[in-house]
């Protein structure tokens, strides 16, 4: 891979984070169905560490699906159109494609020519085909060191499940296996819950809270909690649980050494929402 191609992929990853609002390489990898370590290596200065063509395609598809979802802001759409698409069109091919012998192995058509030909061959008033979103990744959890918490198994999709109809256009949706009984009987240990970061959250909704220690090494395991949302005030996330009944508060900002802060909180979908009824 040339230095130019390496830098273009690094820039593409940076733009993907800015467009989707995802701050860490690990989270970007999880949402795009790419091994997080692959993203991290591609961002490094090692010229031998790159992303394969299938992984670059996964990243492109994820960013495109996000732009077409309800969660895309006007700023994200503008950044996608003015920078990300231009970068994709101009990016040289990576060196991890086929190694077939013969004089035609390195003869690749210009990306702009391909795009121009595709547009020219589209019937008038037609709608271009949009690739269907992939199955939803299910992330495993283990019991956390804090009572009532789950520890995300970093970078591990324990399986994939068919995308429910209600999540057909939700690019950032994921599923999680519940550990513990703090929300029993509504959610029991081993239950599968579907989560959509782009859904509006109201008081009384069930949410998945992800926390991380931002004062120490960033790659420490992420804790997750399933709770009922009460509200947010003065940089504190207020929640409650069912078993045993209790109110729990999570700080969202702070400077105290070793503080566990909210990284994100996303809504768990109801059965009716999953089937869009």
- The pLDDT score that the predictor gives to residue 268 is 95
Q: Which residues, 6 or more positions from 55, have their beta carbon under 8 angstroms from its beta carbon?
A: 34, 38
Q: What are phi and psi of 198, to 5 degrees?
A: -95, 0
What is the full per-residue pLDDT of the chain (277 aa) written as tens digits? 567 778 888 889 999 999 888 888 877 887 887 887 888 888 887 777 778 888 888 888 888 888 887 778 888 888 898 888 887 655 444 433 333 333 333 444 444 444 445 445 545 554 444 455 778 888 877 554 455 667 665 556 677 888 888 888 888 888 988 888 889 899 988 889 999 988 999 999 999 998 877 655 555 557 788 999 999 998 899 999 998 899 999 998 766 666 778 888 999 999 889 987 6
CA 165 to chain centre: 19
pLDDT of residue 245: 92
On whether the pTM is more than 0.85, the answer is no
Per-residue model confidence as pLDDT tens digits over 145-167: 455 667 665 556 677 888 888 88
pLDDT the model gives residue 217: 52
pLDDT number for residue 128:
44
Q: For residue 92, is the peptide bond before it cis, meaning its omega torsion is within 30 degrees of 0?
A: no
The DSSP secondary structure of 115-156, one letter per residue, reads HHHHHHTSPTT-----PPPPPEEEEEEEE-SSTT-EEEEEEE
What is the distance in angstroms between the CA of the first residue and the CA of the last residue of the chain?
Answer: 49
Q: Is 12 exposed, middle or buried (0-12, 13-18, 19+ CB in 10 A)?
A: buried
Looking at 2.10.109.10, 3.30.70.100, 2.40.30.260, 3.30.70.890, the CATH number of the domain 136-274 comes to 2.10.109.10
- Domain borders along the chain are 3-97+110-120, 136-274
């Amino acid at each position: 891979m040339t230095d130019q191609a390496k830098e273009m992929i690094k820039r593409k990853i940076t733009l993907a984070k800015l467009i989707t609002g995802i701050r860490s390489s690990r989270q970007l990898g999880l949402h795009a169905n790419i091994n997080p370590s692959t993203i991290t290596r591609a961002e490094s200065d090692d010229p031998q560490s790159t992303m394969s063509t299938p992984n670059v395609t996964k990243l492109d598809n994820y960013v495109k699906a996000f732009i077409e979802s309800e969660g895309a802001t006007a700023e994200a759409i503008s950044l996608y159109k003015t920078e990300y698409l231009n970068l994709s069109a101009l990016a040289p091919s990576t060196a991890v494609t086929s190694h077939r012998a013969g004089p035609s192995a390195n003869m690749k058509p210009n990306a702009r020519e391909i795009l121009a030909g595709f547009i020219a061959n589209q019937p008038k008033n037609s709608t271009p085909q949009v690739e269907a979103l992939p199955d939803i990744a299910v992330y495993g959890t283990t019991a956390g060191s804090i009572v009532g918490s789950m520890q995300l198994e970093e970078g591990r999709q324990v399986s994939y499940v068919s995308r429910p109809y209600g999540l057909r256009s939700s690019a950032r949706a994921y599923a999680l296996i519940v550990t513990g009984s703090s929300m029993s009987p509504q959610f029991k240990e081993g239950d599968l819950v579907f989560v959509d970061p782009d859904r509006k959250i109201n008081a009384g909704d069930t949410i998945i809270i992800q926390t991380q220690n931002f004062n120490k090494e960033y790659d420490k395991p992420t804790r997750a909690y399933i709770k009922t949302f009460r509200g947010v005030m003065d940089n504190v996330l207020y929640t409650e649980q069912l078993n045993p009944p209790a109110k729990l508060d999570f700080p969202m900002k702070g400077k105290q050494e070793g503080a566990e802060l909210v990284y994100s909180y996303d809504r768990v979908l109801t059965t009716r929402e999953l089937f869009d009824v």
